[in-house]
Chain A
Amino acid sequence: AQTVTQSQPEMSVQEAETVTLSCTYDTSENNYYLFWYKQPPSRQMILVIRQEAYKQQNATENRFSVNFQKAAKSFSLKISDSQLGDTAMYFCAFMKHDGDDKIIFGKGTRLHILP
Protein backbone atom coordinates (compact mmCIF):
# COMPACT_ATOMS: atom_id res chain seq x y z
CA ALA A 1 0.00 0.00 0.00
CA GLN A 2 1.13 3.52 -0.71
CA THR A 3 1.56 6.13 2.00
CA VAL A 4 2.27 9.84 1.85
CA THR A 5 3.78 11.69 4.79
CA GLN A 6 3.94 15.42 5.35
CA SER A 7 5.99 16.13 8.45
CA GLN A 8 5.14 19.82 8.80
CA PRO A 9 1.57 20.31 10.05
CA GLU A 10 1.84 24.09 9.96
CA MET A 11 4.22 26.75 8.69
CA SER A 12 4.35 30.53 8.59
CA VAL A 13 6.52 32.73 6.40
CA GLN A 14 6.67 36.40 5.55
CA GLU A 15 5.34 37.61 2.25
CA ALA A 16 7.96 37.53 -0.55
CA GLU A 17 10.01 34.85 1.21
CA THR A 18 10.68 31.41 -0.18
CA VAL A 19 9.21 28.42 1.60
CA THR A 20 9.69 24.69 1.14
CA LEU A 21 7.08 22.11 2.09
CA SER A 22 8.30 18.56 2.66
CA CYS A 23 6.75 15.31 1.54
CA THR A 24 7.91 11.72 1.57
CA TYR A 25 6.08 8.74 0.20
CA ASP A 26 6.34 5.01 0.16
CA THR A 27 5.50 2.78 -2.77
CA SER A 28 6.70 -0.30 -4.57
CA GLU A 29 5.40 1.06 -7.87
CA ASN A 30 7.82 2.30 -10.49
CA ASN A 31 5.42 4.40 -12.52
CA TYR A 32 3.30 6.94 -10.74
CA TYR A 33 2.34 10.58 -10.46
CA LEU A 34 3.00 12.93 -7.59
CA PHE A 35 1.01 16.08 -6.98
CA TRP A 36 0.77 19.09 -4.79
CA TYR A 37 -2.77 20.32 -4.24
CA LYS A 38 -3.75 23.59 -2.64
CA GLN A 39 -6.91 24.03 -0.60
CA PRO A 40 -7.53 27.71 0.28
CA PRO A 41 -9.89 28.62 3.11
CA SER A 42 -12.78 28.59 0.58
CA ARG A 43 -12.19 24.82 0.34
CA GLN A 44 -11.93 24.41 -3.44
CA MET A 45 -9.02 22.03 -3.98
CA ILE A 46 -6.84 22.93 -6.95
CA LEU A 47 -3.85 21.26 -8.51
CA VAL A 48 -0.64 23.25 -8.06
CA ILE A 49 1.90 21.06 -9.75
CA ARG A 50 2.42 17.48 -10.87
CA GLN A 51 5.42 15.26 -11.48
CA GLU A 52 5.59 12.06 -13.49
CA ALA A 53 7.91 9.61 -11.78
CA TYR A 54 9.61 8.62 -15.03
CA LYS A 55 10.74 12.20 -15.61
CA GLN A 56 13.99 13.17 -13.95
CA GLN A 57 13.49 16.87 -14.56
CA ASN A 58 11.79 18.66 -11.72
CA ALA A 59 8.44 20.21 -12.58
CA THR A 60 8.03 23.98 -12.42
CA GLU A 61 4.92 26.14 -12.62
CA ASN A 62 5.72 29.82 -12.31
CA ARG A 63 6.62 30.43 -8.65
CA PHE A 64 6.09 26.78 -7.73
CA SER A 65 8.73 24.12 -8.22
CA VAL A 66 9.40 20.68 -6.87
CA ASN A 67 12.46 18.78 -5.80
CA PHE A 68 11.77 15.20 -6.79
CA GLN A 69 14.17 12.62 -5.42
CA LYS A 70 12.87 9.26 -6.63
CA ALA A 71 15.41 7.07 -4.86
CA ALA A 72 14.79 8.85 -1.57
CA LYS A 73 11.03 8.94 -2.25
CA SER A 74 10.97 12.61 -1.49
CA PHE A 75 8.86 15.26 -3.19
CA SER A 76 9.15 18.76 -1.75
CA LEU A 77 7.40 21.90 -2.96
CA LYS A 78 9.16 25.23 -3.13
CA ILE A 79 7.15 28.43 -3.32
CA SER A 80 9.21 31.43 -4.35
CA ASP A 81 8.25 35.05 -3.72
CA SER A 82 5.34 33.91 -1.57
CA GLN A 83 2.12 35.90 -1.76
CA LEU A 84 -0.77 36.38 0.64
CA GLY A 85 -2.94 34.36 -1.72
CA ASP A 86 -0.68 31.36 -1.17
CA THR A 87 -2.16 30.98 2.31
CA ALA A 88 -3.82 27.57 2.21
CA MET A 89 -3.62 23.93 3.14
CA TYR A 90 -1.20 22.10 0.89
CA PHE A 91 -1.54 18.41 0.24
CA CYS A 92 1.07 16.16 -1.23
CA ALA A 93 -0.52 13.30 -3.15
CA PHE A 94 0.30 10.09 -5.02
CA MET A 95 -1.43 8.25 -7.82
CA LYS A 96 -0.44 5.07 -9.59
CA HIS A 97 0.13 5.24 -13.33
CA ASP A 98 -1.97 2.22 -14.20
CA GLY A 99 -5.28 3.99 -14.77
CA ASP A 100 -6.26 3.78 -11.14
CA ASP A 101 -7.74 7.19 -10.31
CA LYS A 102 -7.38 6.72 -6.58
CA ILE A 103 -5.30 9.52 -5.08
CA ILE A 104 -3.50 8.97 -1.80
CA PHE A 105 -3.14 12.22 0.11
CA GLY A 106 -0.83 13.28 2.88
CA LYS A 107 -2.30 14.90 5.98
CA GLY A 108 -1.47 18.35 4.70
CA THR A 109 0.61 21.37 5.69
CA ARG A 110 -1.20 24.53 6.70
CA LEU A 111 0.77 27.43 5.26
CA HIS A 112 0.32 30.99 6.49
CA ILE A 113 1.81 33.85 4.48
CA LEU A 114 2.21 36.83 6.79
CA PRO A 115 2.03 40.44 5.57
Chain B
Amino acid sequence: KAGVTQTPRYLIKTRGQQVTLSCSPISGHRSVSWYQQTPGQGLQFLFEYFSETQRNKGNFPGRFSGRQFSNSRSEMNVSTLELGDSALYLCASTFDQGAYEQYFGPGTRLTVT
Protein backbone atom coordinates (compact mmCIF):
# COMPACT_ATOMS: atom_id res chain seq x y z
CA LYS B 1 0.00 0.00 0.00
CA ALA B 2 1.20 3.48 -0.77
CA GLY B 3 1.80 5.67 2.24
CA VAL B 4 0.38 9.07 3.02
CA THR B 5 1.38 11.55 0.36
CA GLN B 6 1.52 15.29 0.63
CA THR B 7 1.89 17.84 -2.11
CA PRO B 8 3.72 20.00 -2.67
CA ARG B 9 6.72 19.04 -0.56
CA TYR B 10 8.14 22.56 -0.53
CA LEU B 11 6.48 25.90 -0.99
CA ILE B 12 7.59 29.51 -0.79
CA LYS B 13 4.95 32.19 -0.46
CA THR B 14 4.84 35.89 0.27
CA ARG B 15 3.12 37.49 3.22
CA GLY B 16 -0.53 38.15 2.50
CA GLN B 17 -0.88 35.38 -0.06
CA GLN B 18 -2.89 32.24 0.47
CA VAL B 19 -1.82 28.64 0.10
CA THR B 20 -3.47 25.25 -0.31
CA LEU B 21 -1.79 22.05 0.79
CA SER B 22 -2.96 18.58 -0.17
CA CYS B 23 -2.90 15.26 1.62
CA SER B 24 -3.80 11.85 0.21
CA PRO B 25 -4.31 9.27 2.93
CA ILE B 26 -3.50 5.61 2.76
CA SER B 27 -6.07 3.77 0.69
CA GLY B 28 -9.02 2.84 2.88
CA HIS B 29 -8.24 5.36 5.58
CA ARG B 30 -11.09 7.74 6.28
CA SER B 31 -9.68 10.04 8.94
CA VAL B 32 -7.14 12.75 8.18
CA SER B 33 -5.52 15.01 10.75
CA TRP B 34 -3.29 18.02 10.17
CA TYR B 35 -0.45 19.25 12.36
CA GLN B 36 1.81 22.27 12.25
CA GLN B 37 5.43 21.73 13.29
CA THR B 38 7.68 24.66 14.20
CA PRO B 39 10.93 24.78 16.18
CA GLY B 40 9.38 27.02 18.80
CA GLN B 41 5.93 25.51 19.29
CA GLY B 42 6.65 21.93 18.33
CA LEU B 43 3.82 19.87 16.87
CA GLN B 44 0.39 21.40 17.18
CA PHE B 45 -2.90 19.91 16.11
CA LEU B 46 -4.75 21.89 13.48
CA PHE B 47 -7.87 19.86 12.67
CA GLU B 48 -9.19 16.43 11.90
CA TYR B 49 -11.60 15.27 9.24
CA PHE B 50 -13.59 12.09 9.10
CA SER B 51 -16.01 11.23 6.29
CA GLU B 52 -15.86 14.79 4.95
CA THR B 53 -16.76 16.32 8.32
CA GLN B 54 -14.47 18.33 10.55
CA ARG B 55 -14.59 16.47 13.81
CA ASN B 56 -12.01 18.33 15.83
CA LYS B 57 -10.19 21.62 15.64
CA GLY B 58 -7.13 22.99 17.38
CA ASN B 59 -6.47 26.51 18.57
CA PHE B 60 -5.61 28.21 15.34
CA PRO B 61 -7.08 31.36 13.83
CA GLY B 62 -9.80 31.20 11.22
CA ARG B 63 -7.22 31.81 8.50
CA PHE B 64 -6.52 28.10 8.75
CA SER B 65 -9.20 25.97 7.20
CA GLY B 66 -9.54 22.56 5.69
CA ARG B 67 -11.81 20.17 3.94
CA GLN B 68 -12.05 16.54 3.01
CA PHE B 69 -13.36 15.06 -0.18
CA SER B 70 -15.42 11.94 -0.74
CA ASN B 71 -12.27 9.98 -1.62
CA SER B 72 -10.82 10.98 1.80
CA ARG B 73 -8.21 13.28 0.29
CA SER B 74 -7.88 16.42 2.33
CA GLU B 75 -6.74 19.95 1.73
CA MET B 76 -5.83 22.68 4.13
CA ASN B 77 -5.84 26.33 3.25
CA VAL B 78 -4.11 29.23 4.91
CA SER B 79 -5.24 32.68 3.89
CA THR B 80 -3.45 35.98 4.42
CA LEU B 81 -0.15 34.31 5.19
CA GLU B 82 2.02 35.64 7.99
CA LEU B 83 5.72 35.09 8.59
CA GLY B 84 4.83 32.96 11.60
CA ASP B 85 3.01 30.49 9.39
CA SER B 86 6.35 29.21 8.14
CA ALA B 87 6.39 25.61 9.28
CA LEU B 88 6.34 21.98 8.34
CA TYR B 89 2.73 20.90 7.87
CA LEU B 90 2.13 17.23 8.48
CA CYS B 91 -0.93 15.21 7.79
CA ALA B 92 -1.74 11.84 9.25
CA SER B 93 -4.36 9.27 8.36
CA THR B 94 -6.08 6.50 10.24
CA PHE B 95 -8.52 3.84 9.21
CA ASP B 96 -11.35 4.91 11.46
CA GLN B 97 -12.30 7.20 14.29
CA GLY B 98 -10.38 6.40 17.42
CA ALA B 99 -7.97 4.07 15.65
CA TYR B 100 -4.86 4.79 17.61
CA GLU B 101 -2.26 4.32 14.94
CA GLN B 102 -1.84 7.37 12.79
CA TYR B 103 0.33 7.22 9.71
CA PHE B 104 2.13 10.42 8.87
CA GLY B 105 3.05 11.88 5.52
CA PRO B 106 6.43 13.46 4.75
CA GLY B 107 5.07 16.96 5.25
CA THR B 108 4.96 20.18 3.28
CA ARG B 109 7.61 22.72 4.16
CA LEU B 110 6.03 26.17 3.85
CA THR B 111 8.23 29.24 3.92
CA VAL B 112 6.60 32.65 4.09
CA THR B 113 8.78 35.61 3.11
Name the residue of chain B whose CB is nearest to the CB of A33: B100
User: Chain B, 58-83, contact with A by CB distance < 8 Å: what is the 0/1 string?
Assistant: 10000000000000000000000000
Smallest beta-carbon distance B100→chain A, Å:
5
* Number of residues on chain B facing chain A (CB within 8 A): 27
List, in ascending order, chain B residues with CB within 8 A of A46's CB.
104
Question: In the assembled complex, which residues on chain B have CB atoms less than 8 Å from the CB atom of A91?
Answer: 42-43
Interfacial chain B residues near A50, Cβ < 8 Å: 100-101
Within 8 A of B (CB), among A86-103: 91, 95, 97-103
Report A102 CB to chain B, min CB distance, Å.
Answer: 5
Interface contacts (Cβ under 8 Å), in number, total 59
Residue of B nearest to A96 (CB): B98
Taking CB atoms and an 8 Å cut-off, the chain A residues in 62-115 that contact chain B are 91, 95, 97-108
Complex Cα–Cα for A46 and B101 (A): 10
A99 and B98 contact, CB distance less than 8 A = yes
Please give, as numbers and ranges, the residues of chain B lying within 8 Å of A104 by CB-CB distance: 45
Distance in Å: Cβ of B41 to nearest Cβ of chain A: 9
Q: Smallest distance from the beta carbon of A45 to chain B beta carbons, Å?
A: 4
Q: Identify A101's interface contact among B42, B97, B104, B106, CB under 8 A.
A: B97
How far is it, in angstroms, between the C-alpha of A68 and the C-alpha of B49 when the chains are bound? Answer: 31
Q: Are B106 and A43 in contact (CB under 8 A)?
A: yes
A44 in the interface (beta carbon within 8 A) = yes
Return 22 A-B CB contacts under 8 Å, by A number: A35-B100, A37-B104, A43-B106, A44-B105, A45-B92, A47-B101, A95-B100, A97-B98, A100-B98, A101-B31, A101-B33, A101-B55, A101-B56, A101-B97, A101-B98, A102-B45, A102-B58, A103-B35, A103-B102, A105-B43, A106-B42, A108-B42
